[in-house]
Amino acid sequence: MNSREESVKERIEGWTPRTRLGKMILEGKISSIEEVFTEGLTIREPEIVDVLLPDLQEEVININLVQKQTDAGEKSRFKAIVAVGNRDGYVGLGSGKAKQVRTAIEKAAINARLNITLARRGCGSWECGCGKPHSLPFEVRGKCGGVEIVLVPGPRGLGLVASEAAKIILGLAGVKDCWTRSFGSTRTVPSFAYAVFDALRKTYSLVTPAEWVR
């Protein structure tokens, strides 16, 4: 067990829920993340995600040193961006600031859990048509700061044609094959990562032509 897995274990063991949803989960009244999402409930405690998604994986996307001029002199802190996901639709992205790298990562990991969302997957590639959820159901766009990204469904076996940060986030979401196109200041990793996350979040807010008729 590594230190991060240990901190998750400690968190669950010492958990006293503070929210109604947390209490319902500990009492066994809600036992799946699907129920939380279909009921439209808000997750305000990271432990909820740890309990309902025990296979959750965590990846550090970026660490920056942020310097700020104060009256007392220069104050420097680390800013971490962490992505979490179960490689099967659930994905989260978060950030955290602290004097120590380790603490910044822990804060970001908690924030990523609170931001967890469900990414809709599908086979939206006209070249493929296998119908399995290996890619995205349609083209989707995401934005953050000066970065815009387009995720384009790809055929099975293509892999992720994307930058390192996008590959990690898409992989954690369970998207295996897709192309990416990006515009703007794409070298700004935090904005880029949030743009990818924004695109994944939009897979559920967009209505496809096939659904109009229902």
Q: At its nearest, how many Å lie between Zn ion and the CB of residue 134?
A: 6
Instruction: Please check whether residue 140 is in contact with residue 119, taking contact to mean a CB–CB distance below 8 angstroms.
Output: no
Instruction: Confirm or reject binding of residue 123 to Zn ion (CB under 5 A).
Output: yes
Instruction: Confirm or reject binding of residue 128 to Zn ion (CB under 5 A).
Output: yes
* CA angle in degrees (0–180, nearest 5) for 153-165-37: 65
Find the binder of Zn ion among 130, 146, 164, 204 (CB under 5 A): 130
Q: At its nearest, how many Å lie between Zn ion and the CB of residue 117?
A: 23
Which lies closer to Zn ion via its Cβ, residue 105 or residue 178? 178
Instruction: Please check whether residue 142 is in contact with residue 165, taking contact to mean a CB–CB distance below 8 angstroms.
Output: no
Instruction: Confirm or reject binding of residue 127 to Zn ion (CB under 5 A).
Output: no
Q: At its nearest, how many Å lie between Zn ion and the CB of residue 122?
A: 8
Count of residues in contact with Zn ion, rule CB under 5 A: 4
Stretch near Zn ion under the rule CB under 5 A, chosen from 39-47, 50-58, 60-68, 123-131 = 123-131
Residues 2-24: b if buried by 16+ CB within 10 A, e if exposed: eeeeeebeebeeebebeeebbeb
At 63, list the tokens. 């660490």
**Tokens 């998207």 sit on residue:** 175
Which lies closer to Zn ion via its Cβ, residue 50 or residue 177? 177
Which residue from 103, 86, 46, 70 is spatially nearest to 173, judged by alpha carbons?
86
Q: At its nearest, how many Å lie between Zn ion and the CB of residue 192?
A: 26
Which lies closer to Zn ion via its Cβ, residue 4 or residue 156? 156
Instruction: Please check whether residue 96 is in contact with residue 90, taking contact to mean a CB–CB distance below 8 angstroms.
Output: no
Q: Which of residues 138-167 bind Zn ion (CB under 5 A)?
A: 156
Which lies closer to Zn ion via its Cβ, residue 165 or residue 178? 178
At 11, list the tokens. 């968190």
Strand partners, 84: 58, 92
Can you give the binding site for Zn ion, defined by CB under 5 A?
Answer: 123, 128, 130, 156
